[in-house]
Structure 1
Amino acid sequence: MTASRLALLPLPLLAASCGPAAGSAPAALAPAWVAIPAAPLEAPARAAGAPAVDPSAPLILPIAAAPPATWVEPPLGEKERARAARDPFREHSEIALGERVAIFAAKGGGADPAGGAFAVDEKLGVVGPLKLPARFTWVGVAGPQVDALYAATPEGVLHRAAGVRGALRPDGFEPRGSVPGATTWDAAGTLIAAAAGERVSVSADEGRSFTSAVVAPGKPVRAVFVRPDGVLAAVVQAPARGQQPAAPDSFLSLDRGKTWKRSAFQPRSIERAGSWIWNGDASCPAVLSRDGQAWTRAAAGLYARPTLGIALHLSPAIRAIEAGSFRSAVAPPAPEPPPRGGAAVGREPPCKSDGGGVVGGLGLMGVLGASCGGALCLLESATPLPQPTRTRIATFGDGICEPTSARPPGSACAAHVTRPPTFAVVDHIASTVTPVAAPEGCPQPVALHNAAGVGVLICRGGSGSATLFVRGAQGPWHAEGSQATPAEALKWIAAAPDGTLLLLQSAPPAGALQREPLQALVRSPLPLGAPQAWRRITAPDGVAALPAPGGAALLASSPAASAGKRLDVTLDRFGQPALPLARNVEVDQDLTRMEIRDGQVWFRVRPNPAPDVKGMPGPLPPEPRDPRWHVLTHGGELVLETSSGPTPPTEGRPLDPAGR
């Protein structure tokens, strides 16, 4: 590529003030943050006898090396990066469910990637990790007004915590009664049940005392289930007959476990899901109906409600759901009894399978709109994602929004929340997740971004403007003011190695008839909570923006009249006039990304397709158009990388604070 050359003299350097200036206040009274002083406006003249700048040499950004901000975290290594990509809750499953609370713990009792068991409370959100009793074998939730937490130990001792907040304290669980030899437990409504041998013991006074009864003489109880309305079911194991093990039998109780009667229907297996006692087969269900005696095949509604478990998974997206739409211990209720003659009876035969199942189809989506060309393709390129660090700020999906008939039940509704979601500090090295509340002054969070070890939360102000909060791995949220930018418009974040951040506003499509100026917010690498840390920049005809060390921003623009065939590159510096680096760079191929590597400015270029060959019977198959990296030179040219040239950029390679 050729270009009209712009010779650049040696440029002034940006510097960060690292201490008080002479004559300033004593250290004890010094402010908690320092500004980046403006450099001289005029570039110094080249010293006599100094060599001239080689126009063909790669352009080096005129930025001085400075220590990074104290909150900056280095990028993770390759092994740690794979750990950071895992969901710390992917091994967790629901182990207890109440009217408004669900408890989740890692499967198998092995190493817990989230650091312990967690609760999801519909009113409070995510709470944890819980301090469960040592060596607990069972956890349950019961209580008609307040969901109390219960835990049992191998010795059959029952412990109780008044609620999820009490379960956060090491002494939150207090010993209650006991059922020596208990091998299985369940709790719902006002009842707690435990099975030991051929007996089932039931408590109706929060576990202080138990009354017991034999279910089936000579047959040990293998499982017991308690429905919130007081109906109980027990599975007993009959003695084996020769080499063949006997099929288990199911018994039911309608008087809180005082008497038991063998069920007229014997499902192959039994489990409890909320208020359902059923066979657990969604394709061929058999559910104990509301009367506690008849089993029905006409079951619907259990999976129509989302489980509270969806709130536990971490995401950078702000998520909320309508209050009262979760599956709980009482919703949906047990189904109505079947019509006369319609009850399932006898041993459950194998269910017939139609082999259909649920099949989902993937459609192909085309990208509509005009194709880009030249420098305008930078408008449609993806901003380089910040590299993962040891800690990140994430959000749970436990926000609550107002009920409305305009949305289907269980659908997301994060635009207007009545309770913001809970946030979390995730430590990928220590494998811990620490829930934290949303900051005060942010009733409507819109987006969360992570870069360089801090989370940037964008909230919607009263006029729709963006209110910014930042938080690191330690300490509280810090309010950093409002910007006259729509909160929903800030879509991307990028970071320089020293902690300079750039929030990029969503760009107009490359084929738009009238392009709006490119806008971004730039944060200087100051301490968290520093006043005026953010500034707004506007680039008419802008096509790309990147943060540069020292609180600067690298801007690329393409004059509207050039239709993407010309490119200007400018350094927007803190407190100084914009510094042109290259003007009228000729662009005859598509630019798909701009990056700063080794202090140089690189562009990824997509080659033009080969021209059609005349005389051929049909169009030629498209040739591969692998993008190649080009470096911007002092003379304003884009030069293709070569084996003997500069080291090409590597995706995700860490740089030092000077961008080298």
Structure 2
Amino acid sequence: MRAEPAGPPVDPSTPLALPAAAMPPAPWVEPPLGEQERARAERNPFSEHREIALGARVAVFAAPGDGAGAAGAAGASGAAGASGAAGAPGAVGAPGAVGAPGAVGAPGAVGAPGAAAVGAFAVHEDLGVVGPLKLPAGFTWVGLAGQRDDAVHVATPDGALHRAADVRAALRPDGFERRGSVAGATAWDAAGGLIAAAAGERVSVSADEGRTFTSAVVAPGKPVRAVLVRPDGALVALVAAAEAPARGRPASPARAAPPARPAAPDTFISSDRGQTWARSTFQPRAVERAGSWIWNGDPVCPAVLSRDGRAWTRAARADLLHGLPTFGAALHLSDAIRAREAGALRSALVPPAPEPPPRGAAAVGREPPCKDDDAGAGGVIGGLMGGYGVSCEGALCLLAGLPPRPPPTRTWLAAFGDGLCDPARVPPGAACAAHLARPPTFAVVDQRAGAVTPVAAPEGCAQPVALRNAAGVGLLVCRGGGGVAALFVRGAQGPWRAEGSHAIPADAVEHLAAAPDGTLLLVGPTPPASAPRREPLPLLVRSPLPLGAPQAWRRVVVPDGVAALPAPGGAALLVSSPADSAGGRLDVSLDRPGHPALVLARAVEVSQNLTKVEVQGGRVRFRVLPKPAPELLGKRWLSLSGPRDERWHVLTHGGALVPEAPPPETPADERRFGPAGR
């Protein structure tokens, strides 16, 4: 029977309605995004960003439309564009390379929605994510070089070079100072203590961070299409080669001659900081720089300029380069707390250039086409998914469900993947992110404008465990003293605000749900429905108060609990099923701040399996899945792809579950059978 509150009698067959909330909505609540905005909001704002500069401890990333090109692509078929030269005026290259329409940094390049709002970002080995950078307008190239640190160097279309002492200085519009210039420069590169620029048939090199340049002719009469600088001072230049003769029959007066094939560029090497140049004994089909590797970019048949700066080796293992994580992984935003071991990233110094080849084993001459002898790595990816069997009864099936995910709003709090862990503190088999030496950087994302603002972890949170979002506020769960949950909140404006430590294990917090007025509910671990003895369901409920309000949270423990939902006014709808009923009965109550629990229904008979509960328009609804026929028990009848004859039932004042009446405009067949998955 249901415990009736005082008041006039009501029809027991009518749907039960929750009492009106006594609190106003939270002042920070944001409305859900519209359907079209949701699709755009779920995109990674850094999905179009590419590495445009790589230093010893820093990498810089930008997207199309940000005014800079992708780093290090002196490309196949002689495409120019080494180390961020994309967008350089007058550069010549293959489609999509330097200066090609739509190339990164090319005039008129169009980026993904929100890319321009995000801007250029840097990832620093020690500092984490830094940005957006205030790079000089219209820049054509970005490089990282310096005598002591990775200073940020930026070239503009007039050939002028600008320098910021480090990435922190690059956050300020006045952080860049003008240095020297190279008139007519079409390609740039920088590494270690050198900066190089190609203009016409000359390469100009600076050893004093762009103050002065010395230049030399590489190959008389042949324009330099790209220049590459290795951190140890070795330089490689690619110069234009004569077009290869066309294949086919000679042209006749009645037929035009077939076009000539573009020839691969000629490769030249300098070992004295660009004062003299010599044609390389090996001529690769393509050249690019990846940190300390100047190579052909072919992981199957690699050819790498060795440490001596003259000989090319075929013995280098491409997996040494590609097996290392890159700085770019740090720009992936998510709700997860992620970290990596310190010093494990691929940089301008790691891995180093390979050892010279044995005498007589160096690659020489024109590089032939690669013969891939790999017979193919066919095979089966993944495996068959196990059957979705049923191991619950009646109300106990609610334990397998999840609270409804809060709809996305304009503001989203996310974590970058730039946390650091100390390998010495990570036990074997443990997660790196659970033993942080430095917490990750967080981000306030405006999902409507596409803007991203990095923010540091709050003081007092050395070990963040989980990040959740609801109604326009981010909730960060940190591990406090004794492993309890220390909560911090942050909205679109203002700092992180501490909201106390609570007697629930930080590592046990799983799901966050929200009512429309901003009431929040954190759910701890739910016991499996098949457990012989169920532990009480632990909850944390937040009233719709201003951020940082004291006593905003309260702990609620639900014996025999199977589900819980936030309800307006700081309330929590609690659903439990007595242990002795084996899921055949349920009780529903409303826990409100400052009031005794209100029993809404007791001993409700459950004859089918309940898969979900929600509050809609003040009504309590359960999704009911009919039980299978006896001959189907134990089989995979509950399938993600198969039909599910689920129907919504409402809880009545009399304590019964009755099918919900469909709206009048519902088609007749749906009114009779109910839409699957409704």
Pairwise mapping of residues 209-358 of structure 1 onto structure 2 (< 5 A)? 209-240=212-243, 243-300=260-317, 301-353=320-372, 354=374, 356=376
Distance change in 2, residues 1:494/1:620 (3 Å): closer
For the Cα contact (< 8 Å) 2:621–2:651, is it kept in 1?
yes
For the Cα contact (< 8 Å) 1:75–1:452, is it kept in 2?
yes
Cα distance in 2 for partners of 1:168, 1:203 equals 25
Aligned Cα root-mean-square deviation (Å)? 2.6
Distance change in 2, residues 1:650/1:400 (3 Å): farther
Q: 2:607 aligns with which of 577, 588, 591?
A: 588
The match for 2:138 is 135
Q: 1:635 aligns with which of 638, 651, 654?
A: 654
Mean Cα deviation higher: 350-359 or 163-172: 350-359
3-state SS in 2 of match to 1:536: strand
Mean Cα deviation higher: 159-168 or 297-306: 297-306
Q: 1:527 aligns with which of 518, 539, 546?
A: 546
Cα distance in 2 for partners of 1:152, 1:122 equals 24
Distance change in 2, residues 1:484/1:650 (3 Å): farther
User: Does 1:90 find its partner at 2:93?
Assistant: no
Deviation at 1:248, TM superposition (A): 1.1
Cα distance in 1 for partners of 2:309, 2:378 equals 31
User: Does 1:157 find its partner at 2:157?
Assistant: no
3-state SS in 2 of match to 1:463: helix
Cα distance in 1 for partners of 2:120, 2:516 equals 36
Mean Cα deviation higher: 254-263 or 354-363: 354-363
More relative contact order, 1 or 2 (CA 8 Å, 6+ apart): 1
Structure 1: tracts of 5 or more residues without a match? 10-42, 47-51, 654-660
Mean Cα deviation higher: 564-573 or 297-306: 297-306
The match for 2:76 is none
Q: 2:579 aligns with which of 534, 537, 560?
A: 560
Cα distance in 2 for partners of 1:444, 1:368 equals 36
Deviation at 1:346, TM superposition (A): 1.1
Cα distance in 1 for partners of 2:601, 2:665 equals 19
User: Does 1:401 find its partner at 2:358?
Assistant: no
> How high is the sequence identity, in percent, across the aligned residues?
70
Q: 1:6 aligns with which of 2, 5, 15?
A: 2
The match for 1:456 is 475
For the Cα contact (< 8 Å) 1:233–1:251, is it kept in 2?
yes
Cα distance in 2 for partners of 1:606, 1:651 equals 10
Cα distance in 2 for partners of 1:83, 1:455 equals 19
Pairwise mapping of residues 512-523 of structure 1 onto structure 2 (< 5 A)? 512-523=531-542
Cα distance in 1 for partners of 2:26, 2:483 equals 30
Pairwise mapping of residues 382-401 of structure 1 onto structure 2 (< 5 A)? 382-401=402-421
Structure 2: tracts of 5 or more residues without a match? 65-103, 246-259
For the Cα contact (< 8 Å) 1:7–1:55, is it kept in 2?
no
Pairwise mapping of residues 361-510 of structure 1 onto structure 2 (< 5 A)? 361-366=381-386, 371-404=391-424, 413-510=432-529
What amino acid sits opposite 1:178 in the alignment?
Answer: S
What amino acid sits opposite 2:322 in the alignment?
Answer: Y
What amino acid sits opposite 2:540 in the alignment?
Answer: L
Cα distance in 1 for partners of 2:543, 2:636 equals 53
Distance change in 2, residues 1:488/1:405 (3 Å): closer
3-state SS in 2 of match to 1:488: helix
Mean Cα deviation higher: 125-134 or 354-363: 354-363
The match for 2:61 is 104
The match for 1:167 is 170
Cα distance in 1 for partners of 2:636, 2:408 equals 45
3-state SS in 1 of match to 2:396: helix
Cα distance in 2 for partners of 1:220, 1:226 equals 18
Distance change in 2, residues 1:412/1:358 (3 Å): farther
Distance change in 2, residues 1:228/1:487 (3 Å): same
Distance change in 2, residues 1:490/1:279 (3 Å): same
Deviation at 1:241, TM superposition (A): 5.8
What amino acid sits opposite 2:560 in the alignment?
Answer: D
Moved over 6 A (4+): 367-370, 405-409, 618-623, 645-653
Cα distance in 1 for partners of 2:478, 2:636 equals 52
For the Cα contact (< 8 Å) 1:608–1:625, is it kept in 2?
no
Mean Cα deviation higher: 271-280 or 136-145: 136-145
Cα distance in 2 for partners of 1:385, 1:650 equals 21
Mean Cα deviation higher: 287-296 or 77-86: 287-296
Distance change in 2, residues 1:651/1:415 (3 Å): farther
Distance change in 2, residues 1:424/1:650 (3 Å): farther
Q: How many residues align?
A: 605
For the Cα contact (< 8 Å) 1:420–1:443, is it kept in 2?
yes
Cα distance in 2 for partners of 1:100, 1:529 equals 37
